[in-house]
Structure 1
Amino acid sequence: MKTKKISSNYLDIVFVKNESCPWRLKEDGLVEIDMENRGFFNTIAQKFFKRPRISHISLDKYGSTLWLCLDGKASVNDILQKMNETFPGEKEKMLNRVVHFLATLEMHKFIVRT
């Protein structure tokens, strides 16, 4: 499997949850984030295809653990260490998983860099 080289600077980045994205911790301990579907095509889909204005994004156990680490103080490296402690059997895949998930969260503006 091909792995991407990560800059050591990336591991020092601190992310924080975007305050404009409501989220909740469900009874099962997993996180659910609300995402407003905006834009021209979403408006059409909402009117004609009865698509919801708000989508509820349910995170799995990995995503929920990572999300709860995003406190505006923990660096990517700190989060990686927490993930490795929580899921010790997944250490070899964890760096790639964390980086991809953070990139996805940042792309959808669920998190921002401090």
Structure 2
Amino acid sequence: MVQFFFKKPRVTFIELEMMGSYVWEKIDGESSIYRIGQNLFEVFGDESLPLYERLAHYINDLYRHGLIVYVY
């Protein structure tokens, strides 16, 4: 029903690069963006820089496409 109302398919397949996939798996409704960024840097190091600018952009892209919601 929700899929019909929001005109979203029941299942959506998206292809993510390695860092994007890592971030997606860390989005659990409890971890903050700050904590996800710390984990991202621990795993990918300098490759993730500029860390929070990239992470914020990626999170906002997921939000704009209706794949996540913000919880305050």
TM-score per shorter chain, which class? 0.7 to 0.9
What value does the CA root-mean-square deviation take over the aligned residues? 1.9
Segments of 5+ residues of structure 2 without an aligned counterpart are none
Q: Percent identity?
A: 30
Say if 2:65 is the partner of 1:108.
yes
1: CA distance between counterparts of 2:65 and 2:59?
10
Q: What SS does structure 1 have at the residue aligned with 2:66?
A: coil
Which ranges of 4 or more aligned residues in structure 1 deviate by more than 6 Å? none
Larger strand share, 1 or 2:
1
CA gap of 1:69–1:55, structure 2 versus 1, over 3 A, is closer
Unmatched tracts of structure 1, length 5 or more: 1-19, 21-34, 37-53
**Structure of higher CA gyration radius:** 1
TM-score normalised according to structure 2 size: 0.76
Relative contact order (C-alpha < 8 Å, sep 6+): which is higher?
Answer: 1
What's the TM-score, normalizing by structure 1? 0.50
Compare the two structures and name the one with the higher helix fraction. 2
- Counting matched residue pairs gives 64
